[in-house]
Amino acid sequence: MMNLCTLLQKIKENPVMYIDKPSITCLDFFVAGYLGQLSDLGATPEGYPMEGFDEWMQEIAETNLIKSWARIILFLFPGERNAFYKFFELFEKFIEQKDNSKIQESEDILRLRQDLWFPQFDIYNEIPSNIKKRPGMYLGTNSITRLDMLLRGYSLARREVGVPPTEPEREFEGFQSWIEEKYGINSGQSWSKIILFYSVDEHDALHKFFELFEEYLNRNKSLEIDENCG
């Protein structure tokens, strides 16, 4: 399992591979999904590199407002791409200033507590229920791109820890090919980009996603019933 600094370096070198494009917002939600799932799996970060970064950025911006590091950087350095690359410059300075005793660059950065493995929470199970009802609670705003990045970070964390995919996660894996077939597209674009292309904006695309995902789930249930009857 790679540590966070290694992952961030890989994202910097090849942002398209992980988050589609150099975007501070995409990076923010990808990292949130990644770290959030590691925590839920019982991985307790001790002195992990991002700890204290929000507060450090608030000092840099000379503000007492409680804002995320991503929002502060985007405010100071307008433009998603510009802010994305500025993040790495700032994060490097932050790491240099941080107490070396609190930085661990090895696999020991995360200690797995076996008693907390395989928790009940499954974000893929939350999509048709809680995320659909309260997208702002999970995404901050109605954005299909943010949802996509959150799921990517979440899934990467699970793969690295070696947790097998849940049934809802396995079912979601087929959503990409279903969307490509539905729209007649085989361009290698992600499901979120395809839906966004056929939508007015991020808000509309997220609304369409929930409709399409429900249609996809119902279609799978119908196929299961047909197979059982056959």
Exposed/middle/buried for residue 223 (C-beta within 10 Å: 0-12, 13-18, 19+): exposed
Please, are residues 20 and 190 in contact by the beta-carbon 8 Å criterion?
yes
Please, are residues 170 and 176 in contact by the beta-carbon 8 Å criterion?
no
Q: Which residues contact 133 (CB under 8 A, 6 or more apart)?
A: none
Which tens digits make up the pLDDT trace of 172-183?
A: 999 999 999 999
Taking the C-alpha atoms of residue 69 and residue 88, their distance in angstroms, rounded to an integer, is 12
Above pLDDT 70, what percent of the chain? 83
Which tens digits make up the pLDDT trace of 126-139?
A: 998 899 999 999 99
- Dihedral sign (CA 118, 119, 123, 125): positive
* Domain layout of the chain by residue ranges: 4-164, 174-230
Please, are residues 132 and 207 in contact by the beta-carbon 8 Å criterion?
no
pLDDT at 118 over 70: no
